Chain A
Amino acid sequence: MNDMIYQMIKATLDAFNMYPISNPALQQQVDDYKARLTAFAERQNDIGAFYGNYAASGLQEEYMSLITKVAMSGTSAAPADSSGSNATAASLPTVREYLMQYQSAYNELCNDPQRARGKAAYEQLFAVAERTDDLLEAQLIIERERLLWKIVAEDSLGIFENTLSQMDPLFLATTASLHQQIKAYEKADSDEELSYLLEKTQWPVAEAVAAYTCKMTIAATVASLLLKYTKAKNEVYLWNEKTLKNAVKSVLEYRSTLRKTLNVLHQLDMTVEELFRNEGAKIWMLSPENADQFGKHKYALHPQNYDAYLDVLKNEIMADIAPEALLKRKPEKVVWFA
């Protein structure tokens, strides 16, 4: 198991040791949970995705339910009669003591700026101690306001939002999955609903990724062919008798291939104008290379090429123009290379 992931789950596993468990059935549940959490952690390779996967697995919600049960079993009251009118009331935990079980999980995320929303959700839970001294009343507030569920949802949403903010929002091949997960977390009100909604994202995510990557592929293909076409034209301009015929043949071949490619573009229900208006697709015409991990910044060919490409497509590829005429053209803007 990854050392960092081990440290992350250690606090969760250790939390159970804080309470004596006398009931064998409950001990079995705890042992089973620990085994499943450990097995889950062993399957995780990506530290960045750990908390999102942990929440999505339902293990985080189950932990909260189980640790509550364990904590309360030690006090022989779950939920408890905290009216103070009976003989055992003195042994019951206060609301503050009851909420302390979430302290170690809170401490874990306290200094992580990515988890500010999770931190705020924990603080909302801890604030219940300011609202009532009655443990059962506190549990009613927690249930009515879904404060434990909010920790799961808010913490995950905070992590997703931070990850998204570092990414290129137009690169839907990677953001589509996060957008769908955010929708699921925003809509879900329980672990079961979340599991269901996350499973249901599979097709919409695959569709969004496929739609984007096809536009990306066609944009990159059009640009690649235009660059080759331009290079062939530039070769003709040099008028080297040894290479001239091949250069002219290349101009004709790339023009024919570009016409064929524009037919494919139409099959994707896109016109040339729409391709150039589609910000997320047309960037792929500039051969972008990521300058950082998430592609928020990139290196690319000069955007003047958009104008130059469009001019070539309209006046040389789509137009019914003779080869010698297109070679005589003097467009205002020409294609720039890297």
Chain B
Amino acid sequence: MAGIEKAIELYTLMAQRCAREGLCPNQAQVYFEMADFMADCATAEEAMEKIKNSKYYTAPTGALIQDKLLSMKKAAEENNMSELAAIYSNKLHQIQQDETAIYDSGYEATAQAVKKKYTDTMDAFADIYRSYLRLSCCPPSDHIEMEDAIKDIRCGASKLNLPSSDFSALAVDAHFRKLIPCNDAGYDLFVKTVADILGGSNGIQDAMEEEGAQIRNEFELCFEKVAAAKDEIQEAGRINLAKTKATKVYVTAPDTLDGAYTYSESGV
């Protein structure tokens, strides 16, 4: 095969690959055009000279950058990050208006900043749920832990930004729902409790107060029976406390996801 035929085959192969992948239509088009463009050249060297003096000399770089922008825009749209997609869309528009815009990469910093607003919101939403878990598992007499958890829920809500800074709006978004690994009944309770807290309701504190009152009632009912069982309880205590030990172990993680931890008392 002559050099020019190989050069055309090379560009055709590149074009076909780009077309096949579907994410680089601009490069596919440029490479197909370049293969056609050099078809009337006798040698590869002549083809390169012809390309050097044409728009095709820099066209692949422009196409590569446009394809990259297209792929980022597509991902942002599918990720439900419309403001991020708009940045890539605007940049593509700029390049279409003026090809030299490919050399200005200032949009990257803007895109990163906007993307961070989305990812910070995702983190904050998941953090709100973890604070809610802490609150849900808080002993009723532990007011410090309860107030801390409520404060963290409010703090998390203040960090919500894109696609919305409104907790209730995010709560009905299918993407955000998937960040909370509980069943639907649990999710409804989470959303209601957090919305109540953010709305200034004291419902959770009232429920904790009621729980504390029930425990005090139970204590009143049982304490006499506990006191009457003093000898048996102390006997159980002697046996149980004798088995108590203070120790730590050295743990080694498995090598694979389906493995198990191994424990060793030596080396601690």
Contact = CB atoms under 8 A, between A and B. Distances in A.
Contact of B79 (A136, A200, A286, A324): A200
B45 A80 contact: yes
A191 B253 CA distance: 35
A39 to B, nearest CB: 7
A256 B218 CA distance: 10
B137 interface: yes
A274 interface: no
A29 B102 CA distance: 10
Instruction: Tell me what chain A mostly uses at the interface: helix, strand, loop, or mixed.
Output: helix
A257 B3 contact: no
B232 A328 contact: yes
A249 B257 contact: no
A23 B226 CA distance: 94
A302 B249 contact: yes
Given A77-B48, A221-B137, A291 B233 contact: no
Nearest to A58: B68
A260 interface: yes
> How big is the A interface, by class?
35 or more
Interface residues of B, number: 105
A260 B261 CA distance: 29
Contacts of B3: 79-83, 136
Nearest to A80: B44
Contact of B246 (A256, A323, A338): A338
Contacts of A233: 240
Given A81-B3, A81-B45, A169 B256 contact: yes
B18 to A, nearest CB: 8
Contacts of B72: 195-196, 199
B226 A323 contact: yes
A163 interface: no
Given A79-B6, A192-B21, A248 B223 contact: yes
Given A88-B45, A268-B181, A323-B226, A257 B75 contact: no
A310 interface: no
Interface in B127-180: 129-130, 133-134, 136-141, 175, 178-180
B233 A236 contact: yes
Given A136-B44, A192-B23, A302-B247, A252 B215 contact: yes
B87 interface: no
Given A81-B4, A238-B237, A203 B175 contact: yes
Interface string A26-52: 101100100010010000000000000
Interface of A: 23, 25-26, 28-29, 32, 36, 39, 58, 62, 65-66, 72-73, 76-83, 86, 88, 134, 136-137, 139-140, 143-144, 165, 167-171, 189-193, 195-196, 199-200, 202-203, 206-207, 209-211, 213-215, 217-218, 221, 225, 228, 233-234, 236-239, 245, 248-249, 252-254, 256-257, 260-261, 264, 266-269, 279, 283, 286, 288, 291, 295-303, 322-324, 327-331, 333-338
Task: Across the A-B interface, give the 3 residue pairs with the lowest CB-CB distance, nearest first.
Answer: A237-B237, A267-B186, A81-B3
